[in-house]
């Protein structure tokens, strides 16, 4: 594999998003349909996006470990594997997922139209495991009231953080992505004083200013999610979005993290759920419950185009 043109992993955050996770049905017809969509996904995205070019429609397609073996076989990306369930103070489940579609645009109708075309192409070939519609909430805040994604890398730094390089030459230009759906206990959260909420997150709620190191507890979210290797921070790119249904009392965050190695995100999750040191877990998990978890390889765009 020599394809190196990446998918739109580092596309900017938008006002709307759809996250679609599907499992591949048994049989060669399902596999053929999935490979055919791989080849056409860029064209479908252009067909919808050109109708509102300023609204920046994009689609990233990820492929899970078992689906990769069925669709493409060997060689396979070095670090592609199923999502690891974590049993700690809190639980991070591993849930089914063969194909991931991450749709982003300034307008939800564009995401909806593209998701409709994708599902029409995959009719009978997949079973939808999970879907969510994300939306921008005021000034990029989550439903807990804090700004999300402040420390995201940008421009070349984002590409360096997310795109595979010489460490896996055969899959250079690809990426890895982990997704989790979190549901928030808003009543419990709202009962926590703002000052304590700020210690849990590690930032001021209104101003978004990071707390001084002396004021941040070791269990703060933005302490446990900083990963270093040989003294250097190992960043990831988060495109988290709020989602919810007030009528059902459902309020959540859809976590989606891109990285050139999934181990970066896995170390963050270990710190959050198991604790660092063990037992010093992320107190955000006392009110935010992970209900899904899956891991995917994001092939370069030109690999997908040649997939059929």
Annotated catalytic residue, options 148, 239, 270, 282: 148
Summarised one tens digit per residue, pLDDT across range 54-68 is 999 999 999 999 999
Q: Is 148 a catalytic residue?
A: yes
Cα separation, 96 vs 100, whole angstroms: 11
Q: Where are the domains of the chain?
A: 16-305
* Sequence-distant (≥ 6) Cβ neighbours of residue 39 within 8 angstroms: 304, 305, 306, 307, 308
Mean predicted confidence (pLDDT) in 130-148: 96
281-299 as b/e: b if 16+ CB within 10 A? bbbbbebbbbebbbbbbbb
Q: Given a cut of 80, is residue 287 above it in pLDDT? A: yes
What Cα–Cα distance (Å) separates residue 41 from each residue in 159, 180, 270?
A: 22, 23, 34
Residue 4 has what pLDDT?
A: 80
Q: Given a cut of 50, is residue 42 above it in pLDDT? A: yes
């Amino acid at each position: 594999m020599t394809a190196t043109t990446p998918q739109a992993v580092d596309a900017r955050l938008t006002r709307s998003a759809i996250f679609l996770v599907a499992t591949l049905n048994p049989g060669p017809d399902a596999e053929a349909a999935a490979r055919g969509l791989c080849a056409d996904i860029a064209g479908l995205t252009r067909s919808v996006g050109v109708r509102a070019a300023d609204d920046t429609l994009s689609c990233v397609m990820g492929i899970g470990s078992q689906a990769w073996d069925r669709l493409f076989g060997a060689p396979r990306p070095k670090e592609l594997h199923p999502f690891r369930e974590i049993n700690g103070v809190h639980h991070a489940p591993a849930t089914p997922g063969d194909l991931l579609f991450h749709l982003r645009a300034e307008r939800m109708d564009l995401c909806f139209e593209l998701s409709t075309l994708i599902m029409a192409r995959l009719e009978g070939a997949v079973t939808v495991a999970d879907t969510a519609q994300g939306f921008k909430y005021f000034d990029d805040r989550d439903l807990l009231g804090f700004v999300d994604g402040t420390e995201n890398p940008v421009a070349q730094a984002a590409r360096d953080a997310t795109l595979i390089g010489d460490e896996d030459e055969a899959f250079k230009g690809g990426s890895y992505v982990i997704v989790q759906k979190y549901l928030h206990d808003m009543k419990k959260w709202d009962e926590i004083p703002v000052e304590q909420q700020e210690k849990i997150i590690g930032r001021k709620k209104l101003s978004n200013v990071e707390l001084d190191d002396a004021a941040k507890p070791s269990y703060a979210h933005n302490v446990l999610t900083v990963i270093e290797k040989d003294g250097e921070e190992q960043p990831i790119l988060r495109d988290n979005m709020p989602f919810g249904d007030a009528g059902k009392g459902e309020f959540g965050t859809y976590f989606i993290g891109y990285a050139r190695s999934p181990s970066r995100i896995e170390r963050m999750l270990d710190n959050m759920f198991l604790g660092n040191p063990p037992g010093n877990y992320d107190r955000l998990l006392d009110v935010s419950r992970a209900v899904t978890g899956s891991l995917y390889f994001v092939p370069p765009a030109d690999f997908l185009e040649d997939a059929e």
